[in-house]
């Protein structure tokens, strides 16, 4: 009897212990949400897929199933709006080169050009005597015409007026116009080599820092578009952060594509890619904008040669245009000589020929380089770049405002 009672007591204790253990284990298996913590090794990231937020949890790989990524879709609390496309910019119609010449001639004639002012003052005198000739010579020398061209012009004028036997200012004016045109040399070929052959024509624009090459390339694109040319722009100035953006803006305004690379990319590779795009798209002309460089920096100057060589693996460079600031005078001529030694300069673009520029730089730079001035810039307007015409230039110098 005693043994039976003892057995029942032991069984009751065992059952009680089992019930308590079950309650404790059950509680641990059902934690509250606020108490959940990721196990060691778990990672969580959120991303948006198709308008819904997807929570990803990477769990350790199981020994049998090999499961690696578990995801759950969480609907966004706020609706996701589809992006709106910005309206395409309106394509501008550039001004025709013919009308530019008339407008630019009028602007040059009305400028404060030192040579123009000096010549008009001298020719307004009642008679031309020895003092007039000396003043005339000084005016030419201070206008960056150069010693040799100045001596040639003065001697030719004096001989001509002596033979004709007159010192009349009107006759002197006519003679001066004709002799100046001879110095500017209308026989030089000032046309741009932009005719497409089997491949596009390629034009490189080079120059020192701060002369406005990117702006000039953009304006030149407008000139070519006005002539119904298909143009591709190459932003090979990869050292200046805003250069590619600026060139792309110029191109978008006239519907011209721009090839660009990352900031600091190899300029030669960008130029190569631009020419490749031009060939594949059967463009007429590829314009390459290069970074400004000091003519005294040998490494940067050598880079120009590299760009040209790389381009010519696909197509010949038909023009190398050197951009010069007309206000720099003799310093501009020094720059021109060194650039011409590194790359075969085929033509000169003179910017800022109005205002304080000295018109004699046109004659001097042509004498120094043996290449013509092909384009001139006479203002800040988008169409203030035009082909250089010797007779128009001389007439503007000799036209009163």
Residues forming the annotated binding site?
207-214, 289-293, 351-354
Output the CA angle 175-179-180, nearest 5 degrees: 115
Distance separating alpha carbons of residues 399 and 392, to the nearest angstrom: 10
The residue assigned the tokens 């001697």 is 155
| DSSP type of residue 327 | G
The string over 155-175, giving b where at least 16 C-beta atoms fall within 10 Å of a residue's C-beta and e elsewhere, is ebbeebbeeeeeeebeebbeb
- Work out the number of other CB atoms within 10 angstroms of the CB of residue 320: 23
Buried/exposed code over 17-31 (b: 16+ C-beta within 10 A; e: otherwise): eeeeeeeeeeeeeee
CA atoms within 13 A on the CB side of 184: 23
* Alpha-carbon gap, residue 388 to 347, rounded angstroms: 11
Binding residues for GTP: 207-214, 289-293, 351-354
- 396, 401, 400, 398: which is closest to 105 by C-alpha? 396
Which residue(s) pair with 43 in the sheet?
A: 58
Q: What is the DSSP string of 79-117?
A: PPPPPPPPPPPPPP-PPPHHHHHHHHHHHHHTS--HHHH
């Amino acid at each position: 009897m005693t043994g039976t009672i003892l057995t029942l007591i032991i069984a009751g204790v065992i059952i009680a212990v089992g019930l308590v253990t079950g309650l404790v284990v059950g509680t641990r298996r059902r934690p509250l949400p606020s108490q959940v913590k990721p196990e060691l090794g778990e990672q969580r990231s959120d991303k948006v897929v198709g308008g819904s937020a997807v929570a990803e949890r990477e769990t350790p790989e199981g020994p049998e199933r090999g499961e690696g990524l578990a995801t759950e879709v969480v609907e966004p609390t706020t609706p996701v709006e589809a992006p709106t496309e910005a309206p395409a910019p309106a394509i501008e119609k550039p001004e025709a080169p013919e009308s530019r010449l008339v407008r630019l001639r009028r602007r040059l004639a009305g400028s404060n050009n030192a040579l123009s002012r000096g010549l008009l003052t001298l020719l307004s005198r009642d008679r031309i005597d020895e003092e007039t000739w000396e003043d005339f010579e000084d005016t030419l020398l201070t206008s960056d015409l150069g010693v040799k061209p100045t001596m040639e012009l003065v001697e030719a004028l004096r001989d001509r007026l002596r033979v004709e036997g007159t010192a009349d200012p009107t006759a002197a004016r006519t003679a001066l116009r004709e002799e100046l045109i001879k110095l500017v040399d209308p026989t030089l070929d000032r046309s741009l080599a932009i005719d497409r052959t089997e491949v596009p024509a390629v034009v490189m624009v080079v120059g020192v820092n701060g002369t406005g090459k990117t702006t000039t390339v953009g304006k030149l694109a407008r000139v070519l578009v006005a002539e119904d040319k298909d143009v591709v722009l190459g932003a090979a100035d990869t050292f200046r952060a805003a250069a590619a953006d600026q060139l792309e803006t110029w191109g978008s305004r006239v519907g011209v594509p721009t090839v660009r690379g990352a900031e600091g990319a190899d300029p030669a590779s960008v130029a190569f890619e631009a020419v490749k795009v031009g060939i594949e798209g059967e463009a007429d002309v590829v314009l390459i904008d290069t970074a400004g460089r000091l003519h005294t920096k040998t490494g940067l100057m050598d880079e120009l040669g590299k760009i040209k060589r790389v381009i010519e693996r696909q197509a010949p460079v038909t023009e190398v245009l050197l951009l010069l600031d007309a206000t720099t005078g003799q310093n501009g001529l020094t720059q021109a000589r060194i650039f011409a030694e590194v790359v075969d300069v085929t033509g000169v673009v003179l910017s800022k020929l109005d205002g304080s520029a000295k018109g004699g730089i046109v004659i001097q730079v042509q004498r120094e380089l043996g290449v013509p001035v092909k384009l001139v810039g006479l203002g800040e307007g988008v169409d203030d770049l035009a082909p250089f015409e010797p007779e128009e230039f001389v007439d503007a110098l000799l036209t009163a405002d």
